[in-house]
Structure 1
Amino acid sequence: MTADAAPAPDATTPAVPAPAAPVSAPASAPWKGWAAVCAVALGIFCLITSELLPVGLLTPVGADLGVSDGTAGLMVTVPGLVAGICAPLVTVGAGRLDRRHVLCALIALMAAANLVAALAPSFAVLLAARLLVGVGVGGFWAIAGGLAVRLVPERHVGRATALVFGGVPTASVLGVPAGTLLGELGSWRTAFAAVGGLGLATLAALLLLLPPLPPARQISMRQLPALLRGNRGVRAGVAVTFLVVTGQFAAYTFVRPILQDVSGIDAGFVSTLLLGYGVAGVAGNFLTGTRDAPRTLLVVSTCLTVVLGLIAVVPGAVAGTVLLMVWGLVYGGVSVSLQTWMNTAAPEAAEAASSLMVAMFNLAIAAGALAGGLAVDGLSAPAAPLTGACLMCLAAVTIRVTSRAGAAAGR
């Protein structure tokens, strides 16, 4: 938001998310609330690891089950699309159920799906198991995103939310490389079984550490489009989510050929650089916290417009490495900032707003990969980050325009 005007009632400027509903954090020992936050963060880590695990296992899975690498890539595409669809459906379907029970059921589903995948006799069975992973990712993320305010005192909500969403970049830094290593040391089945076992351990942690979480407000399916129509901040947040995440994955999906073809980085160093990118992303997540989300995302989208544009055209390994690290650091704050935006835009319906954001986030992953692929196939590898830069620029313009409109409405 601009600094010279007050926000409209549904605008997106407040820095700290308001409670999802009139349900206060439980009056218990502080360590219990933080332990519950850590359990939820572990759940996010486990689910994102499960969603992205096939990235490092496409070739061995395809060779073992007799499918091409392109077909094996459906193991990533299908969960993303299903997660986008299921985020609002699970939130509505949860109804009056205790959110503690819903989260535990979703983690159990993910664990079972990975154990089935580890034993899958055919690619069809494996893909069906991956579909169930998508259900778990979409539902868990949508519900868990706004739980920090119910687990810790208000003054700690920002740090707790950042901790929960720290599971997203940490999965890329630790979870996916660890799963890939297990696949190399044993087999791809070992990697899926290990993630299934981690899911069972996470289930135990949630059962032990989460307090009862009765629904703060029951959501119906008709309320979701009504929330979009009636809340300017939510509409803007969903639009910004689409533009930023589509731009990110239009470029990041093809980061390997970009680093090799444009920056001239040897293929043997790419994995190390991507690990550095992930570490930078974790740092960016915690540095961002839950500061003023529109201002943060305006800075993020503006910086990434420049970074993606430069990495597409500036040659040299040093330049490519520096730009990649800056890219990771800046993008690391996106998930927590988008969640803060939605919590703040609709404090009375944070769970519904979160489900809309998560749905768009996951659908945008698929859209970004598709847009980047069309750009690469139609032009060249540098076209992917240039496409991402254009979308980031549109995101920055959208944030600026909606901020001014919200400020004007609040006068």
Structure 2
Amino acid sequence: MGATIIDAEDRPGAAWGAVLSMALCVAMLIASEFMPVSLLTPMAEGLGATEGQTGQAISISGLFAVAASLAVTTVAGRLDRKWVLVAMSAFMLLSLVLVATAPNFAVLMVGRAFLGVCIGGFWALATAVIMRLVPAQDVPRALALMYGGQAIAAAFAAPVGAYLGGMFGWRDVFWALTPIVAINLVWHVVALPSLPVRQRQDVRAMMELVRRPYFLRGLVAVMLSWGSAFTMFTYLRPFLEQVTGVDVTVLSLLLLLLGCAGFIGTWAAGRYVKGDVAPLLKLPALVMGGATAGLLLFGFSVIAAGFFMVVWGAMNTMFSVIWMSWMAQNAGDAPEAGGSLMVAAIQASILLGAVVGGLLLDGVSIGATFIGSVALAAIAVALIGDGQRMLKPEGV
């Protein structure tokens, strides 16, 4: 079954230009999805909402991303995957325009819903497409390159967004992303080869994967790990403002530090994520949960906050490469179905993290939000253990 999807060997060379176009799309997706993190306070003021409510701009995109990730392989049917990815970029462009012009909270949510469709559809297909663009031995390297877009967005989107939002207003920040997304859409059309579906993988393929105990355990671990990360990350700005006591300039510098640390993670992922990934599976929850605990204990210091944000940011960019490499190795016979389930699990955990974190922030305190994040990380580490129970048995 896997040979019908992994067809890079049918071409004379790996399509690295297409991989780069996907890396730029990742950068724009990450920037668009999490820009409200760096603009949470001014967006709340501008729309007449609380910070906890505005944080749901992330949860609503997560909700639609879950639905899109589960539906895309069925709804898209036998459409060429190249044109499905082009359509996802068009949804992202529409979302940015709606958010930038939103006169009220309801229109903002509609714009974020369109972004959720793009997020779910793109990520559900991304790993399967990478597996078709490059030979099998190059898949981890290509994934690291694609997720390099995440490092770029993490390095520059949040700090630049916070800084420009302070100078010109949060709407102009979203407007500034639109021409880049338009260029990326054209690049997709030019660089991506035709990717016709050779074997449709629908709901039955997803259900078959879920019935595999090792894959189901992996999905639960993914949800706990990502839920922990984004319970904290969604509300990082209120923490830095309320606990660390930073102004917009220092906030921007700290977010830049966190983002630049992502380049370390990208380099490490390309170098060390290969072969057996089992020993690496618990690292994201362990390291990022530990960094969140460090912020809780020492976040009153700007220097300490900067240190723990660097640690968190470096592991954040390794996070996706580690787990998507696990998916490629343990669901290689059904990569689109595996990708759909992975994205649904990740986006559901981001959604729940934003919702629960917002409720804790509004109802208790920012400290309670971060304690919830640490608790989820601890459960994830305990479940994963040495990672062996997450691997496909030999001979299967």
Normalising by the residue count of structure 2, what TM-score does the alignment of the two structures yield? 0.87
Equivalent residue number for residue 382 of structure 1 = 367
Residue 272 (1) aligns with residue 253 (2): yes
The alpha-carbon deviation at position 338 of structure 1 amounts to 1.4
Residue 143 (1) aligns with residue 125 (2): yes
The alpha-carbon deviation at position 58 of structure 1 amounts to 4.5
Residue pair 1:233, 1:342 contacting (<8 A) in 2 also: no
Residue pair 1:118, 1:189 contacting (<8 A) in 2 also: yes
The alpha-carbon deviation at position 110 of structure 1 amounts to 1.5
Residue 250 (1) aligns with residue 242 (2): no
Query: For 2:11 and 2:371, how far apart are their aligned partners in 1?
Result: 50
The alpha-carbon deviation at position 381 of structure 1 amounts to 3.5
Instruction: Please list the CA deviations of residues 302-353 of structure 1 after superposition, one character each: whole Å capped at 9, or x if unmatched.
Output: 3334333333224644333322212222232111111111111110101111
Query: For 1:170 and 1:316, how far apart are their aligned partners in 2?
Result: 27
1:41 corresponds to which letter in structure 2? A
Q: 2:96 aligns with which of 110, 114, 132?
A: 114
Q: 2:74 aligns with which of 81, 92, 99?
A: 92
Residue 283 (1) aligns with residue 264 (2): yes
Residue 201 (1) aligns with residue 186 (2): no
Query: For 1:64 and 1:405, how far apart are their aligned partners in 2?
Result: 45
Equivalent residue number for residue 362 of structure 1 = 347
Query: For 1:107 and 1:405, how far apart are their aligned partners in 2?
Result: 33
Residue pair 1:280, 1:325 contacting (<8 A) in 2 also: yes
Equivalent residue number for residue 76 of structure 1 = 58
Instruction: Please list the CA deviations of residues 111-140 of structure 1 after superposition, one character each: whole Å capped at 9, or x if unmatched.
Output: 123224434454433322221111011101
The alpha-carbon deviation at position 375 of structure 1 amounts to 4.4
Return closer, same or farther for 1:112/1:233 CA change in 2, 3 Å cut-off.
same
Deviation larger for 304-313 or 374-383: 374-383
SS, match of residue 348 in structure 1: coil
Output aligned runs, 1:234-383, within 5 Å: 234-259=215-240, 264=244, 266-267=246-247, 268-289=249-270, 290-291=273-274, 292-314=276-298, 316-376=301-361, 380-383=365-368
Query: For 2:225 and 2:351, how far apart are their aligned partners in 1?
Result: 13
Equivalent residue number for residue 233 of structure 1 = 214
Q: 1:131 aligns with which of 108, 113, 117?
A: 113
Return closer, same or farther for 1:407/1:133 CA change in 2, 3 Å cut-off.
closer
Equivalent residue number for residue 4 of structure 1 = none
Query: For 2:18 and 2:280, how far apart are their aligned partners in 1?
Result: 27
Residue pair 1:44, 1:168 contacting (<8 A) in 2 also: yes
Residue pair 2:88, 2:121 contacting (<8 A) in 1 also: yes
Residue 152 (1) aligns with residue 134 (2): yes
1:28 corresponds to which letter in structure 2? P
Return closer, same or farther for 1:62/1:169 CA change in 2, 3 Å cut-off.
same
SS, match of residue 146 in structure 1: helix
SS, match of residue 335 in structure 1: helix
The alpha-carbon deviation at position 167 of structure 1 amounts to 1.9
The alpha-carbon deviation at position 99 of structure 1 amounts to 0.5
Return closer, same or farther for 1:376/1:20 CA change in 2, 3 Å cut-off.
farther
Query: For 2:114 and 2:46, how far apart are their aligned partners in 1?
Result: 22
Structure 2, unaligned runs of 5 or more: none
Output aligned runs, 1:171-210, within 5 Å: 171-210=153-192
Return closer, same or farther for 1:53/1:293 CA change in 2, 3 Å cut-off.
same
Query: For 2:38 and 2:290, how far apart are their aligned partners in 1?
Result: 29
The alpha-carbon deviation at position 84 of structure 1 amounts to 1.7
Query: For 1:70 and 1:384, how far apart are their aligned partners in 2?
Result: 11
Query: For 2:207 and 2:67, how far apart are their aligned partners in 1?
Result: 14
Return closer, same or farther for 1:377/1:194 CA change in 2, 3 Å cut-off.
closer
Residue pair 2:239, 2:366 contacting (<8 A) in 1 also: yes
Query: For 1:71 and 1:382, how far apart are their aligned partners in 2?
Result: 18
Instruction: Please list the CA deviations of residues 124-165 of structure 1 after superposition, one character each: whole Å capped at 9, or x if unmatched.
Output: 333222211110111011111232222123332221111112
1:311 corresponds to which letter in structure 2? L
Residue 28 (1) aligns with residue 12 (2): yes
1:53 corresponds to which letter in structure 2? M
Query: For 2:302 and 2:176, how far apart are their aligned partners in 1?
Result: 36
Return closer, same or farther for 1:128/1:25 CA change in 2, 3 Å cut-off.
farther
Deviation larger for 383-392 or 331-340: 383-392
Return closer, same or farther for 1:370/1:199 CA change in 2, 3 Å cut-off.
same
The alpha-carbon deviation at position 299 of structure 1 amounts to 2.8
1:366 corresponds to which letter in structure 2? L
Return closer, same or farther for 1:375/1:19 CA change in 2, 3 Å cut-off.
farther
The alpha-carbon deviation at position 228 of structure 1 amounts to 0.3
The alpha-carbon deviation at position 405 of structure 1 amounts to 7.8
Give the CA RMSD over aligned residues. 2.9
Deviation larger for 151-160 or 183-192: 183-192
SS, match of residue 219 in structure 1: coil
1:302 corresponds to which letter in structure 2? L
- Identical positions, percent: 33
SS, match of residue 120 in structure 2: helix
Structure 1, unaligned runs of 5 or more: 1-17
SS, match of residue 138 in structure 1: helix
1:167 corresponds to which letter in structure 2? G
1:124 corresponds to which letter in structure 2? A
